[in-house]
Structure 1
Amino acid sequence: MFTRPFNANTMLWLAGKYARQGGGQIRLQEFCEMLQYLESVKNIFTQIDTDRTGDISVSELSRALKLSGFNVAGWPDGGGDALSLAVAEKIGRAYDADGNGVLTFDEFVQLRLEWDSYLDNWSATVAPDANAISPQQLLTILEAIKSSLESLHELAINPMVSGLPGFSAASFLGPMFYNSMFKVPRPFLHSTAELLIRKYAGGSSLLTFEQFCLLMEFLKEQKKKFTAVDQDRSGHINLQELGQAFAQSGMPLPLEQLLVVARRYDQDQSGTLEFDEFLQMMTELSPA
């Protein structure tokens, strides 16, 4: 049915999930669990891919996520609210690398592995009957995500992995959140969490699950932009790099405006913007 082999990114996600369970190795038990997981994901995919093309459209992803237990996603033919459908489309388009409107099985597996991690950390922090979280709970979830993905970073920078065809550690890790993503690890600030919630909760102080999903995609986009100019992983960028980040975001600014923006968000007056300061800036300046 599926003739295309898994790419290096998919293999890394699988290794990150199952080698962690096996204490750094994929033993027979973990290998069998991995095959069972892939079979379950394949069964969901084939329920959507009825014509057996090996692809599903981004618009069909909402149903695939619902079948996966990702209940935020609504059904296009009834029962799904507009926000839920928007969440599914936002997540799907992040994996549609060539912009052709469909996801291969390989891309769907990557999506599931990444979002399984986010959902596991949400479930571990939020009570089953709760439908919204506070800024402090958001910070707890984000820090838990960083810890859970640290092993993925360690795999990505392993010299043996760098030789895999088509693999780029910088590209793979660009949108990821892990403890050592910068040379000096720093937790997210409470003020950043408050800004993010106000942005995605429409001014409310509490964030729903659907809004959390949209927020996560925004965070990934901003982390990718930041690391694209922060080549040495210092965790801060200077004025020239900030200009590059704005240009890459489609918002080029002249020098005098860059100076105004940089001074406004440079809270510690260091002359550079740390990732948290950059994130607050983009939260306020970017459209929702």
Structure 2
Amino acid sequence: MFEEPDMLAKRQCIRNPEYQAAFQIFDRDHSGTIDLQELNNAVQAVKRSVESGTQQSMFERPFHAKTILWLAGKYARQGGGQIRLQEFCEMLQYLESVKNIFTQIDTDRTGDISVSELSRALKLSGFNVTGLPDGGGDALSLAVAERIGRAYDADGNGVLTFDEFVQLRLEWDSYLDSWAAHVPAGANAIAPQQLLTILEAIKQSLEPLHDLAMNPLCAGLSGFNAGHFLAPMFYNSMFKVPRPFLHTTAELLIRKFSGGAVLLTFEQFCILMEFLKEQKTKFSAVDQDRSGSISLEELGVAFAQSGLPLPIEQLLVVARRYDQDRSGTLEFDEFVQMMAEITNI
């Protein structure tokens, strides 16, 4: 649902002499491919061109490792982290289109965009957060954009740098593609089974990122931490024992985010995805062995970290209420049900 160059433009971009020259420059070992380290150098050059003459140019910071992995996930899925000339040219074409949108919005040349500007940037990208033709500057669009943007504001300063905006675009590509593939054109609301189907599609689309995160070359990327990168993500092998969400979980989530309705709208889906990422991060923080379930003791840690410390007696009551299979532990979907009921959106 993000607008990108059409297929003809993608095929022809390999003829761009600037892209070809850039490939030769960054393919330092002359292997005919760009690896993760060489990719890091290439996108750093793009970052400098975007931030030239802005306040950001005063601080030389590398492209965040998360963004490098998302780019590799989009353009090196078949190459184990290796990008060939065609994919490299498509990547530069993609970054150029994102750069054009970013600079259109960053009219005061600060090198970053605020939340209010993010809503317009998303609209220019073809992503209407309300699903309505006139969305972008209205209160609902701003609220959804604020919820989405907050997840990428790494330093919490209320604005997104070009790096953070690229990361947002890449990650939401996966979510929007899954929505578009399973929701009929023109429809703006989904039932529980459709939500389950979309979530499973997202898990499949993000599995290659898990494989890339395990690539030894990632260890050399500045600030990279595989655990932190994967913590909020939905991918097939995120737990040792795969278990899809229960239908009751989907029903509860739709009721929570739709205000009690039986269908979930597009903008509610957007907020739901950020909620699920937050809960996955909390769950991963205590499920250290990736078993996909947490014990009562681990649940206590999760509650404390969420600012909701409970006495052991109340904790037992809560755990038993959501332990639907009576396993003595909470699986992720049971944990999500619990957090959906006891936390505010």
Which interval holds the TM-score relative to the shorter structure?
A: over 0.9
TM-score (norm 2): 0.80
Could you tell which deviates more after superposition, 12-21 or 113-122? 12-21
User: How far has the Cα of 1:182 moved from its partner?
Assistant: 0.2
Alpha-carbon distance in 2 for matches of 1:243, 1:24: 39
1:131 maps to 188
Alpha-carbon distance in 2 for matches of 1:252, 1:188: 26
Letter in 2 for 1:120: D
1:62-90, CA deviations, whole angstroms, 9 ceiling, x for partnerless residues?
A: 01100010112699x99644222211000
Alpha-carbon distance in 1 for matches of 2:131, 2:334: 35
1:7 maps to 64
What RMSD, in angstroms, separates the aligned Cα atoms of the two structures?
1.8
Alpha-carbon distance in 2 for matches of 1:73, 1:277: 29
Alpha-carbon distance in 1 for matches of 2:154, 2:169: 16
Alpha-carbon distance in 1 for matches of 2:136, 2:62: 35
**265, 272, 275: which is aligned to 2:332?**
275
1:126/1:93 CA distance change after superposition, 3 Å: same
Letter in 2 for 1:191: T
- For these two proteins, the number of residue pairs brought into alignment is 287
1:35 maps to 92
Alpha-carbon distance in 2 for matches of 1:14, 1:62: 22
Query: In the alignment, is residue 195 of structure 1 matched against residue 252 of structure 2?
Result: yes
Q: Verify the 8 A CA contact 1:12 1:155 in the aligned structure 2.
A: yes
Q: Verify the 8 A CA contact 2:153 2:160 in the aligned structure 1.
A: yes
Matches within 5 A, 1:76-95: 80-95=137-152
Matches within 5 A, 1:116-127: 116-127=173-184
Alpha-carbon distance in 1 for matches of 2:308, 2:187: 38
> Post-superposition, which runs of at least 4 consecutive aligned residues in structure 1 deviate over 3 A?
21-25, 77-81
User: How far has the Cα of 1:148 moved from its partner?
Assistant: 0.2
**45, 60, 76: which is aligned to 2:102?**
45
**136, 139, 159: which is aligned to 1:102?**
159
Structure 1: give runs of 5+ residues left out of the alignment: none
1:36-73, CA deviations, whole angstroms, 9 ceiling, x for partnerless residues?
A: 00000000000111122211112211011000101126
Letter in 2 for 1:193: A
TM-score (norm 1): 0.95
User: How far has the Cα of 1:242 moved from its partner?
Assistant: 0.4
Alpha-carbon distance in 2 for matches of 1:123, 1:84: 19
User: How far has the Cα of 1:176 moved from its partner?
Assistant: 0.3
Structure 2: give runs of 5+ residues left out of the alignment: 1-49, 52-56
In percent, how many aligned pairs have the same letter?
A: 83
**17, 26, 49: which is aligned to 2:74?**
17
Residue aligned with 1:184, SS: coil
1:39/1:20 CA distance change after superposition, 3 Å: same
Q: Larger Rg: 1 or 2?
A: 2
